[in-house]
Structure 1
Amino acid sequence: MQTIAAVARTPRGEFTIETLELEAPRVDEVMVRIVGVGLCHTDLIFRDQFAPYPLPAVLGHEGSGIIEAIGDDVEGLEVGDRVVLGFSSCGHCARCNEGLPSYCREFPPLNYAGTRLDDGSTAFAAGDEKISSHFFGQSSFAGHAIVRAGNVVKVVDDDAPLELLGPLGCGFQTGAGGVMRSMACPAGSSIVIVGGGPVGLAAVMGAKIQGCATIVLVEPVAARRALGEELGATHSIDPAAGDVAQAIRAIMPDGTDFALDTSGRIDAIDAALAALAPRGMLGLVGVPPRADDALSINLAGMITFGQRVIGIMEGDSDPQMFIPELIAHHAAGRFPFDRLVRTFPLADINEAIAAQGRGDCVKVVLIP
């Protein structure tokens, strides 16, 4: 069959809207009609070759939609199921068996190869030209996607806004999971969240759910600071106003129990480190501007105060468990992620990228 898709053809180039041929699902795949797909910074860094990905490609990894066809070996899913699409994992390595599929032994090839691993085929083609697919197991910047069945999370709440749920598969679960899973911040603890984008604001909501007593958002855009306070931040700091570590310690003289960096900026991470309390923990989820960016840590201080720094992938979440939990929190009014979302037609993806880059909106969801 044919479907429309936003195709990345050149690094830093605009996406082109094209009609592509789409293969039928293989035995372990499903075909999903996409009703909404989040626009994530990760899509752009792969388009721009910060991390290698074969171009031309259909990217997109925050899809939601309705199953229209299933492969012969797929169990537990049916045509007509409402689903959110997550990342790929093998399901049987040591980390998968621990309930930590984002650290799957096969994560890079399953999510970043641009092909099926068994035969190197792609789900999309433009005539005789192969178009890379299976980005994060889905490639959902399209009207339809061929998805590995293990990526699919069924949505059982018929009232959940399906077209807006896709970002739960990556950005929102990364921010919320970083607080609720990776660092497991206990009630009454303090946390500093650096960056008020979709990941950072999801972390703010996650910290409120956890019952954190002090939630400090560090964010340069005033409107996002204000939104963060509406969503649960008890304090906000403009990093342009002065020394961030000093500003944090003015709020918490003994330092913060936890910090989560979503910015990837070395200066911001250094400030968060300087504001950690003894036994404090810093979680890192932000992608740095350059691949060779590195932290310089005072080892004596780290040892003396027992401080911890951890990398976080996908919020340490098992999507099959955590996405339904976040949907339930949304239904109860505790995780109002829809307040972050602005929708654009998929055909306007380049305009949407520009709007998100300008800060006109927090989270873009594209509607095919």
Structure 2
Amino acid sequence: MKIKAAVCRAPNTQLDIETLDLEEPRDTEILVRVVATGICHTDIVVRDGLLPTPQPVVLGHEGAGVVEKIGKAVSKVAVGDHVVMTFNSCGHCPSCLEQASSYCYEFFPRNFFATRADGSSALSRNGEPVHGNFFGQSSFASHALCHERNIVKVSQEVPLELLGPLACGVQTGAGAVINALKVTAGKSFAVFGTGSVGLSAIMAARVVGATTIVAVDVNPDRLDFARTIGATHVINSRDGGASEQLVELTGGGLHYALDTTGLAPVIREAALSLAPRGTCGVLGASPPGSEIVLDEVHFMSGGRRLVGIVEGESNPDVFIPKLVELYRQGRFPFDKMVKFYAFDDINEAIHDSEIGKTIKPILRIG
């Protein structure tokens, strides 16, 4: 079939809206008519060639849509279901078998190589292959092929066009708090970086009952926004001394800290903010080979912990519907950080995200 897609053909260039050919779904594949898709920082990093995803490629990995066709081996969803497409996984490695698919042994090839497992692509233009299957979907398109491993059925009582970001950015931040760090009522929590991931973490900390919720950033507008969704305190780290302020604020240090920036000096600051036995989660992506330097005596003597987190350690089939229900109840207002754009305005949406004008852009496609 003919589809409309945004194609990345070279690093650091704008995406081109093109008409592509999409193959019929194979026995294990699912054809989704994309209604809307979020734009994530990872899409921008890959566009700029900072990760080894081949080009030309159709990116997009926060897709929401309606199932139009299923392969004969598919039983998880049916035609007409409302779905969100999330990260892909193999389903048979030790992590997947233990319901920890975000740590799939094949996570990188299944999500970043932009081919099927056999190396093929379902996308082409006039016979020229175009890489697809990015995060098992390539949802910067009117239609996408995905898999049972990365499709989640969602309620039809909630606007479908809003739900795409739950697939990655929102799931990552909220899941880091609820699933990975397991923040509980009465505890203190700070997030370093208030993009969509960090702000999702703040909303989740409020859901679980943390009583001290601190947003740390250099953008005063983002800090003001953080207060409206659950932050009890804010710190502008441009003024320096964030760790000292946090230790003073909490009377000895944080129970939990979360870094969303991937910057080594910020991670060090987050670790220095911890109380004895405190835990710092790290989920911001850095270039391969990046190193983190900690104060070893401070880290060891207080029994402090540093933990890496991918996709919020979520089981998407369970966690995404949970977030939808929290939103429906008015307890997780992630819609407040969303701005919608027309599909043809994808490059404007990406630019607005890069300069911080928009927290979470969503492209209306369908």
Partner of 2:230: 232
- Spell out the pairing of 1:90-239 with structure 2 (5 A cutoff): 90-118=90-118, 120-155=119-154, 157-239=155-237
Partner of 1:367: 364
SS at match of 1:74: coil
**Per-residue deviation, 1:346:** 1.4
Structure 1: 4+ residue segments shifted above 6 A: none
How far, CA to CA, are the matches of 1:161 and 1:221 in structure 2? 30
How far, CA to CA, are the matches of 1:205 and 1:36 in structure 2? 23
Deviations 1:80-101 (A, max 9, x none): 1100001111222211122110
Unaligned runs of 5+ in 2: none
How far, CA to CA, are the matches of 1:121 and 1:271 in structure 2? 44
Count of residue correspondences? 365
How far, CA to CA, are the matches of 1:365 and 1:112 in structure 2? 21
**Per-residue deviation, 1:117:** 1.2
RMSD between aligned residues: 1.1
Partner of 1:296: 293
Q: What percentage of aligned pairs have identical amino acids? A: 44
Deviations 1:134-177 (A, max 9, x none): 1110000000001112211001x222110010110100000000
How far, CA to CA, are the matches of 1:58 and 1:22 in structure 2? 12
CA separation of 1:310 and 1:230: change in aligned 2, threshold 3 A: same
Counterpart residue identity of residue 148, structure 1: H
How far, CA to CA, are the matches of 2:219 and 2:299 in structure 1? 31
Partner of 2:46: 46
How far, CA to CA, are the matches of 1:302 and 1:243 in structure 2? 18
Give the one of 241, 248, 254 matched to 1:250. 248
How far, CA to CA, are the matches of 2:317 and 2:76 in structure 1? 13
SS at match of 1:130: strand
Deviations 1:85-121 (A, max 9, x none): 0111122221112211000112122112211112x21
Partner of 1:339: 336
* Contact 2:62–2:167 (Cα < 8 Å) also in 1: yes
Partner of 2:304: 307
Counterpart residue identity of residue 316, structure 2: P
Unaligned runs of 5+ in 1: none
SS at match of 1:11: coil
How far, CA to CA, are the matches of 1:268 and 1:121 in structure 2? 40
Partner of 1:3: 3
Greater Cα shift, 336-345 or 103-112: 103-112
SS at match of 2:238: helix
Counterpart residue identity of residue 234, structure 2: S
Tell me the TM-score normalized by structure 1.
Answer: 0.97
SS at match of 1:78: coil
Counterpart residue identity of residue 20, structure 2: L
SS at match of 1:66: strand
* Contact 1:50–1:291 (Cα < 8 Å) also in 2: no
How far, CA to CA, are the matches of 1:351 and 1:305 in structure 2? 47
How far, CA to CA, are the matches of 2:113 and 2:291 in structure 1? 26
